[in-house]
Chain A
Amino acid sequence: MIRYTLGRLSSLVISLVVASIVIFLVIEVIPGDPAAFMLGINAREDTLAALRAEMGLDQPLLARYLDWVFGMVQGDFGNSWTYKTPVAELIGDRIWVSLPLSIYALSLSILIAFPAGIYAASRRGRMGDVYVIGLTQFGVALPNFWFAMILVLIFAINLRWFSAGGFLGWDNPFLAVKSLTLPAIALALPQAAILARVMRSSLIDILGEDFIRTARAKGLTRRQALWRHAVRNALIPVLTIIGLQFSFLLAGGIIIEQVFFLPGLGRLIFQSISARDLIVVESVVMLLVFTVIMVNFIVDLAYVAVDPRLRSRG
């Protein structure tokens, strides 16, 4: 168990270091002079010099990289050139939209997918299974931003149950959750379709195993065998997908935020791209990648919790 955790931990650190180098190179080295890139061709020489000093471009590459990384570790992401505020503050404001949205969507996706997958697997080949499979085929093909537009058309414009977009903050938690509901559904359903399919096929594999036959032979009903033995064993591939999905939800959230005009990280990153504010883009991308790597690390550890066999394997 300890060896396994240490192994995962070292690959976590390596991934983070390499990812940060890649992002640093793409943003700060490939454009040549990032300051000139950010300010465009009509920039005045003194503005350019100010930005160069601000970004520390007069220093050697390695020093700049280390400066950036150690700054981030201490929570200092630099200052936005366009907003004139610390990037950490900008992220801090917006993460309270993006993170709850991803978690909300992930929970919805699990809540829909688990029962659907288990139901389909237990009815394999019968009408219920065929319906679930058909629906998931459709769900997988659904672009989430288009689905979001359809949801707005039905539930915001025609039925007027929800607002068509915007976010007023967490002062009124009920309203906040309400305005995140349509975006979360739009994000969750296509992902739930994938998850339900994985749950179903994983469960069907497990239901064919000898230990399930043994469980039935010792007198458990089909239902008891399913719930006590099969579902838990079917969770391992499902966990992998959940880990991958979280990264899709974070990235997909960037698009859904555009549909619903939510002031999250997605909007921040697009505003920064059009303003060529590379300092913000660099930090937000690093933060997203950091989250994805961390989530996959946690999933790797969760395997061990679900599957004790992995503990001895190391």
Chain B
Amino acid sequence: MNRNLLIGAALSTVFLCLAALSFFWTPYDIETLDISNKLQGFSLTHWLGTDHFGRDILSMIMMGARTSIAVALLAVGIGVTLGIPLGLTAAARRGSVLDELIMRGNDLIFAFPSLIIAILITAVFGASTINAIIAIGIFNIPVFARLTRAAALPLWERDFILAARVCGKSQARISLEHILPNITNLMIVQGTIQFSLGILAEAALSYIGLGAQPPTASWGRMLADAQTLVIIAPFTALVPGFAIVLMVLGLNLLGDGLRDWLDPKLRVDRT
């Protein structure tokens, strides 16, 4: 076990547990406003203080973790379920019109940064959590499609694939039974990285008001609310910011650690 993997797994687990716990229990109810207790600093009753409505910041962070993780996870899901099959198809039909179409389509999505996709979607359909998931998810499709194709292409040249073809297996079956298991590790690592990028993207979209809408708690919205309060109550901006940094840092370390751990070749190289 390497150090990156341990720290990354620990940080990610903490936030996953906080999010899971929020389904059953939070220190305070975040939908009850308590204006008389607004902008309290760190204390024993409110560990991470209260915001401008007197809501408990720790409870908001827990609920926000839930939103962040749900959005990022579903966005990765969109990328995986659409991107991997597209990449496998492109690799199986290498050089065909279909391959060319899939890859050019990917290039096209890359020309729209995810934020611009989000802006387009919200301009027409309005801001919501679902639209944020779609906007981030669309951008994940070409990431997984390209990576799958790039990883699958050299596999198609290998002898065990040739053997499978001699046995009369179809391209689709070979892709599913032989190519996919061999690139799963790579996809897990990339999935972790896209998950962390998704957390950052969700925070950014909610910050500019294109993501989760009140009363849904979200780290990005907490930062947007804190912006005007930063002079009198800096902790309202510091706490959600650190939550984002630690969560993303944890996932990135986890991704790096997993890559080293899952790939025996790298394990030797890195020493």
Q: Does A14 contact B (CB under 8 A)?
A: yes
CB proximity of B271 to chain A, nearest CB, Å: 10
Interface residues of A in 9-33 (CB under 8 A from B): 11, 14-15, 18-19, 22-23, 26-27, 30-31
Q: How far is B207's CA from A272's CA once the two chains are assembled, in angstroms?
A: 18
Q: Closest Cβ of chain A: how far from B84's Cβ, in Å?
A: 22
Contacts A141-B196, A143-B200, A251-B115: A31 and B244 contacting too (C-beta < 8 A)? no
Interface secondary structure of B, over-half rule: helix
Is B113 within 8 A of A292, CB to CB? yes
**CB-CB < 8 A to A23: which residues of B?**
120
Q: Is A116 an interface residue (CB 8 A)?
A: no
**Pick from B110, B121, B123, B244: contact of A278, CB under 8 Å:** B123
B203's partner among A11, A143, A292 (CB-CB below 8 A) is A143
B22 at the interface (CB under 8 A from A): no
Complex Cα distance, B201 from A248, in Å, reads 12
B interface bracket (residues with beta carbon within 8 Å of A)? 35 or more
Of the candidates B108, B237, B249, the one whose C-beta lies within 8 Å of that of A19 is: B108
A185 at the interface (CB under 8 A from B): no
Chain A residues touching B, range: 35 or more
> Closest Cβ of chain A: how far from B69's Cβ, in Å?
16
Whether A146 touches B230, Cβ cut-off 8 Å, given contacts A18-B108, A247-B113, is no
Report yes or no: A293 in contact with B123, Cβ–Cβ below 8 A.
Answer: no
Tell me the complex Cα distance, A250–B231, Å.
28
Give A150 Cβ to nearest chain B Cβ, in Å. Answer: 7
**Cross-chain contact B203 with A270 (CB below 8 angstroms):** no
- Is the CB–CB distance between B111 and A149 below 8 Å? no
Partner of A138, one of B203, B244, B245: B245
Cβ of A306 < 8 Å from any Cβ of B? no
Q: State which of A61-69, A231-239, A281-289 sits at the interface with chain B.
A: A281-289
Structural contact, B203 and A273, CB atoms closer than 8 A: no
Query: A residues within 8 A CB of B245?
Result: 138, 141-143, 146
Closest chain A CB from B196 CB (angstroms): 7
Q: Which A residues lie within 8 Å of B124 (CB)?
A: 26-27, 30-31, 37, 278
Q: Does B184 contact A (CB under 8 A)?
A: no
Q: Are A248 and B108 in contact (CB under 8 A)?
A: no
| Contact (Cβ within 8 A) B237 A14 | no
Please tell me if the beta carbons of A296 and B111 are within 8 angstroms of each other in the complex. yes
Mark B98-133 against chain A: 1 for CB-CB distance below 8 A, else 0.
000000100110111111100111111000000000
Tell me the nearest residue of chain B to A145, going by C-beta: B207
**Residue B208 at the chain A interface, CB threshold 8 Å:** yes
Residue A181 CB within 8 A of the other chain: no
Residue of A nearest to B205 (CB): A255
Residues in chain A near residue B187, CB distance under 8 A: none
Task: List the interface of chain A (C-beta within 8 A of B).
Answer: 11, 14-15, 18-19, 22-23, 26-27, 30-31, 37, 137-138, 140-143, 145-146, 149-150, 152-153, 157, 244, 247-248, 250-252, 254-255, 258-259, 269-270, 272-273, 278, 281, 285, 288-289, 292-293, 296
9 additional A-B residue pairs with CB within 8 Å, beyond A19-B108, A141-B246, A289-B112: A26-B120, A27-B124, A140-B248, A141-B196, A143-B207, A143-B241, A146-B245, A149-B237, A153-B237
The 18 sampled A-B contact pairs (Cβ below 8 Å) are A11-B107, A18-B108, A141-B248, A141-B249, A141-B252, A143-B200, A143-B203, A146-B203, A149-B226, A149-B237, A152-B230, A254-B119, A255-B204, A273-B119, A278-B123, A281-B119, A285-B119, A289-B116
